[in-house]
């Protein structure tokens, strides 16, 4: 099944998809240890509802009740050769902060020489007028802890007692599942596709077994790892199974994974982060 890569700069000669690194890795702190201090109204989150990586950050912002602390603007889920655009439409809008027409303007305002792929999510600093970070991993941790004095939520999605185990399972889920669906779907040679698809379904089988005797991945309370997995499971049957050729099984065929997915969806506030019409246009 030889094919042409959708993103040539992120493919190896062997046909493997290799996701680009995040370009900006600033950090918001509440202790003065960075140039980005935690403050209400200072930061703005740019996201797409079609993007699972951005969806993770929307979920943590919601669970931590940071809606009044960190503003958010949703881009048009349909991209053309110009990339993510700010337009008014159902579930998305123009940019109220900078008046940008395209998210690429935020990248070039931060680094005029930027030449990589423009991705969501993006955390924008209205004071320095630059991107703080475009790393969803960092943003989940920043939202979990940096703004605690500005919210009444005591929820901790990254408890100290579980951090080594969380980090290890995060890596496994990212490599085999979160990014695994893209490694299969964007493979441009048959053997690369076969390897990625087998790893993906081996991982889903392992997670199905893990969930046989526990409600969440680490027991009775969800942590950040659960939401990292949730955003992929949510889109799997509608998008990855067909469009990305991850069609050995569906999530509905896994009794424990499908029950777990439904359980997480019913956590207060989560349904409001999901737009199935837009999510079914999942992007990378």
Instruction: List residues with catalytic annotation.
Output: 51, 182
What is the pairing mode between strands 76-80 and 83-85? antiparallel
Q: How far apart are CA 152 and CA 144, in angstroms?
A: 12
Q: How far apart are CA 282 and CA 124, in angstroms?
A: 23
Structure tokens of 267?
């956590």
Sheet holding 71-74, edge to edge: 71-74, 43-47, 122-125, 130-133
Structure tokens of 24?
């900006």
Q: How far apart are CA 243 and CA 76, in angstroms?
A: 20
């Amino acid at each position: 099944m030889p094919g042409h890569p959708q993103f040539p700069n992120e493919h190896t000669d062997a046909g493997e998809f290799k996701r680009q690194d995040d370009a900006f890795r600033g950090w918001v702190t509440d202790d003065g240890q960075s140039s980005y201090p935690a403050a209400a109204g200072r930061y703005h989150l740019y996201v797409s509802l079609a993007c699972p990586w951005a969806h993770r950050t929307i979920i943590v912002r919601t669970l931590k009740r940071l809606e009044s602390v960190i503003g958010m603007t949703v881009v048009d889920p349909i991209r053309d050769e110009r990339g993510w655009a700010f337009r008014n439409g159902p579930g998305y809008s123009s940019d109220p902060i900078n008046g940008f027409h395209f998210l690429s303007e935020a990248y070039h305002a931060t680094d005029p020489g930027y030449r990589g792929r423009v991705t969501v999510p993006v955390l924008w600093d209205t004071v320095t007028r630059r991107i703080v970070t475009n790393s969803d991993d960092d943003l989940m941790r920043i939202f979990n802890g940096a703004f605690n004095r500005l919210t009444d939520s005591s929820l901790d999605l990254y408890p100290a007692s579980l951090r080594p185990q969380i980090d290890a399972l995060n890596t496994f889920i990212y490599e085999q599942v979160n990014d695994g669906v893209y490694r299969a779907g964007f493979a441009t040679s048959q053997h690369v596709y076969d390897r990625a698809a087998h790893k993906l379904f081996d991982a889903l089988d392992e997670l199905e077994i893990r969930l046989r005797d526990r409600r969440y991945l680490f027991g009775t309370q969800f942590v950040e790892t659960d939401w990292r997995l949730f955003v992929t499971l949510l889109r799997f049957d509608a998008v990855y199974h067909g469009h990305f050729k991850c069609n050995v099984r569906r999530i509905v065929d896994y009794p424990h994974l499908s029950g777990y997915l439904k359980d997480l969806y019913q956590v207060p506030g989560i349904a409001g982060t999901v737009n199935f019409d837009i999510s079914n246009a999942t992007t990378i």
